[in-house]
Amino acid sequence: MTLVIFDCDGVLVDSELESNRILAAALTAWGHPIDTKTSITRYAGMSMQSLVAHVEAETGRQLPPDFVHRHRSEVSRVFDTTLRAIAGVAEVLAGHDGRRCVASSSAPQRIERSLRTTGLIDYFPSDALFSATMVARGKPAPDLFLYAADRMGVAPSDCIVIEDSLPGVQAAVAAGISVQGFTGGGHILDGHDEKLRASGATEIFGDMALLPGLLARYLP
C-alpha cells in the first residue's frame, strides 16, 4: 500500500458525538424526534446529501431549504471552542513518512476548519483534502475514495482507508480498498467493532498508538 486515506470526523478529530447531538436537537425541533444515540446509529459517517435523503425518506417530508446551512453553522460555532483531535493521532501523523490524504463526508470548509482548530492542518497538503461535495454520491457509495485515489495518482489496490463509520467502511469496500476500523472516538457504541468487521473492515483498533504497527503490515 502506498497511500493512507484518513476519514476526518471520528478518526482525526473527535467530533461525531457533538455533531450528532446538534443534529438530533435540530431534527427533533423540526418534528422528527430523535436522540443522540439514535442519530449516531443511523447517520454517523453519511454525507450530508445521503443524510438528507435518508431523513426525508423516513419522514415523507422535505427538510427546510436552510436546514443544512443552519446545521453546519451551529456545528462550526460549537467546534471552534470544543473540538479536539483524537488522542494520539498527531503523534501518528508526525511519525508517518508515507503518502496520506483525507476523504471526508464533511464540506471542504469544515474539513479545513476542523484540522486547523485541532492543530492537524500542517500534516496534510491543501490538495490532499477531499470532500463528498466533490463527487456525485457520498458514502456509503465508493465515489469519494475512488476520487481521492485518482487525484493522488494511486490505484485503489495500493490504498488503505482508516474509517470509524459503517457507511465509510462500506464505501471503501465498494471501492476495492482495504479498510481498517477505528473505535476510539467518543461516539462509539457497544458492539460497533463487530459491525465494522461485518461491513468489511480487516482490522479493528481503538488506540491510535496501534496504527503504525497495523499499517506496517500493508505498506512497503
133-166 pLDDT, tens per residue?
Answer: 999 999 999 999 999 999 999 999 999 999 999 9
The pLDDT value recorded for residue 219 is 65
Asked whether the predicted pLDDT for residue 218 surpasses 90, the reply is: no
The pLDDT value recorded for residue 44 is 86
The pLDDT value recorded for residue 96 is 93
Structural domain span for residue 105 = 3-15+84-216
Question: What does pLDDT average to over the chain?
Answer: 94
Q: Is 41 found in the same domain as 11? A: no
The count of residues in the chain is: 220
Q: Is 128 found in the same domain as 45? A: no
Q: Is 89 found in the same domain as 76? A: no
Q: Is 174 found in the same domain as 126? A: yes
Rg (CA), the chain: 16
Q: Is 182 found in the same domain as 141? A: yes
Residue 124 C-alpha cell reads as 496534510
Write down which residue in 50, 82, 114 finishes a domain: 82
The pLDDT value recorded for residue 140 is 92
Provide the domain count of the chain: 2
- Kindly state the percentage of the chain with pLDDT values over 70: 99
Domain of residue 99, CATH code? 3.40.50.1000
40-66 pLDDT, tens per residue?
Answer: 999 987 888 889 999 999 999 999 999
Q: Is 187 found in the same domain as 95? A: yes
Helix crossing, 143-151 with 166-174: angle to 10°? 60
Q: Is 98 found in the same domain as 166? A: yes
Write down which residue in 82, 115, 131 finishes a domain: 82
Residue 96 C-alpha cell reads as 508517518
Q: Is 97 found in the same domain as 52? A: no
14-35 pLDDT, tens per residue?
Answer: 998 899 999 999 999 999 999 9
**Model's pTM, two decimal places?**
0.88
How confident is the model over 110-135, as a mean pLDDT?
Answer: 96
Nearest to 85 by CA among 15, 145, 36, 150: 15
Q: Starting from the edge strand earliest in sequence, which strands make up the sheet with 3-6, in order?
A: 129-131, 99-104, 3-6, 159-163, 178-182, 203-205
Domain of residue 31, CATH code? 1.10.150.240
Q: Is 99 found in the same domain as 199? A: yes
Residue 198 C-alpha cell reads as 461485518
